[in-house]
Amino acid sequence: MPRIAIIGGSGLENLLKTFESTQLQTPYGTPPPISVGSIGKHEIAFLPRHGPKHDLPPHRVNYRANLHALKQLGVERIIATNAVGAINEAYHAGDLAMPSDILDFTRTRTSTYFDSAPVTHVDVTEPYCHELCSILLECCAAMKIGVRRNAVLAATEGPRYETPAEIRMLRSMGQTL
């Protein structure tokens, strides 16, 4: 059973030399097929966020089903990749950023697994796993890959891009973070 999963763009399953595809059902619906294979000595699960043919737009991604399916497989740690724009003008295309916090501006995504009693509040004081971030930073250092640390990820709805006013708002917020 894989303890590590990668959630990323379609085509990244090629990171796995050989893999088997599995289709799971969850109480939240059906996620895309999950590829299970290995990278080095580690068994890895790969889930294509936008589906195997990149045909699921961001507002249709079933995030709860995706995460529940990975948990069903025994996954304990998730590395999620994103190809995003940057509000910080110091960042350039191709830069790798390691977020330490998040601003969630999504509106239509279900943001909890706790839909009924008892009322459950989830602590997101530390939204990212420090252990996994440390390991990723060590790997980047060993490979001499520069990383922008302590980035703040602003999650917006998609699939539309932000308006100029939204970009100005996010940029001005970033100056106070």
Give the pLDDT score at 27: 96
Are 148 and 98 in contact by the 8 Å Cβ rule? The answer is: yes
Residues 93, 176: one domain? yes
Domain C-terminal end among 57, 81, 105: 81
Domain C-terminal end among 46, 81, 116: 81
Give the pLDDT score at 177: 52
> How confident is the model over 48-100, as pLDDT tens digits?
999 988 899 888 999 999 999 999 999 999 999 887 788 888 888 888 889 99
Give this prediction's pTM. Answer: 0.88
Domain C-terminal end among 33, 48, 81: 81
Are 73 and 39 in contact by the 8 Å Cβ rule? The answer is: no
Residues 69, 90: one domain? no
Question: CA angle at residue 99 from 93 to 101, to 5 degrees?
Answer: 135
Give the pLDDT score at 176: 58
- Which regions of the chain does DSSP assign to beta strands (E)? 4-8, 19-22, 34-39, 42-48, 77-80, 96-104, 147-155
Q: Which of 2-16, 79-93, 94-108 has the highest mean pLDDT?
A: 94-108
DSSP-derived pairing of the beta strands 34-39 and 147-155: unpaired
| Beta partners for residue 129, in sequence order | none
